[in-house]
C-alpha cells in the first residue's frame, strides 16, 4: 500500500466538491440556456415572409449576446444553489456519491434546489402564480446542475493525486 499523507482525506472529501462547482454550473447553464432558447424559438409563431439578410444578421447577433448574458446569469444561479445544496451533500456522502444511492441523493437534492428557486420567485408550487414554463425551466436547470455536479465531483476525485486505484476483480 503506497504512502498517503494525512491531508489526503481532506483533499478528497472537502476540496474536490468545491473544485467541481464552477465547471458543473457553467456546463449546466450553457446547456440549459441553449435548450431554453431552442424551446423559445420553436414555440414562437413565425408569421410573414422571410426577413432580409441584414435583419437576420442583427437578430443573430442579438440572440448570441442574449445567450451569452443568459449563460453568465444562469452560471451564477447554478453555482449558488450547488454551493448551498450540492457541496454539503457531497461532503456528507463522501465515497458513497459514486453509488446508485449517491445518484438518487443528487437527483433529490436537485429537485429540492429547484423547488427552493421556484419558491424564491413566488412561482408554483408555493406561490399564487401557476407558472408551469418557468417551473419546468428551473427544474431542467436544477437537474442538469445536480447530475453534472455529481459527475464533476467524481471526476475531481479521480484526478486527485491521492485518488485510490479502482479495485480489480
Question: What is the tens place of the pLDDT at every residue in 5-43?
Answer: 555 666 667 788 888 899 999 999 999 888 888 877 777
pLDDT value, residue 146: 92
Dihedral over Cα of 141, 144, 149, 155: its sign:
negative
Taking Cα atoms as reference points, which of 64, 83, 74 lies closest to residue 31? 74
pLDDT beneath 50, residues of the chain:
169
- Distance, CA of 71 to CA of 77 (rounded, Å): 10
Burial of 39 (0-12, 13-18, 19+ CB in 10 A): middle
Locate the domains of the chain by residue range: 17-36+54-157
- Distance, CA of 86 to CA of 81 (rounded, Å): 7
pLDDT value, residue 52: 78
pLDDT value, residue 27: 93
pLDDT value, residue 145: 92
Joined together, the cell numbers standing for residue 99 give 453509488
Instruction: Please list, in sequence order, all residues whose beta carbon lies within 8 angstroms of the beta carbon of residue 131, skipping any fewer than 6 positions away.
Output: 123, 124
Amino acid at each position: 500500500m503506497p504512502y498517503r499523507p494525512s491531508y489526503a482525506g481532506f483533499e478528497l472529501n472537502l476540496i474536490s466538491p468545491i473544485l467541481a462547482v464552477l465547471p458543473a454550473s457553467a456546463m449546466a447553464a450553457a446547456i440549459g440556456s441553449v435548450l431554453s432558447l431552442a424551446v423559445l424559438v420553436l414555440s414562437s409563431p413565425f408569421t410573414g415572409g422571410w426577413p432580409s439578410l441584414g435583419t437576420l444578421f442583427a437578430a443573430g447577433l442579438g440572440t448570441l449576446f442574449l445567450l451569452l448574458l443568459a449563460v453568465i446569469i444562469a452560471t451564477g444561479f447554478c453555482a449558488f444553489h450547488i454551493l448551498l445544496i450540492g457541496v454539503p451533500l457531497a461532503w456528507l456522502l463522501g465515497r458513497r456519491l459514486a453509488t446508485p444511492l449517491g445518484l438518487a441523493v443528487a437527483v433529490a437534492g436537485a429537485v429540492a434546489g429547484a423547488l427552493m428557486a421556484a419558491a424564491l420567485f413566488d412561482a408554483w408550487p408555493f406561490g399564487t402564480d401557476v407558472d408551469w414554463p418557468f417551473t419546468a425551466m428551473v427544474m431542467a436547470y436544477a437537474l442538469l446542475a445536480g447530475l453534472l455536479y455529481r459527475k464533476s465531483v467524481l471526476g475531481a476525485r479521480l484526478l486527485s493525486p491521492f485518488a485510490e486505484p479502482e479495485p480489480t476483480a
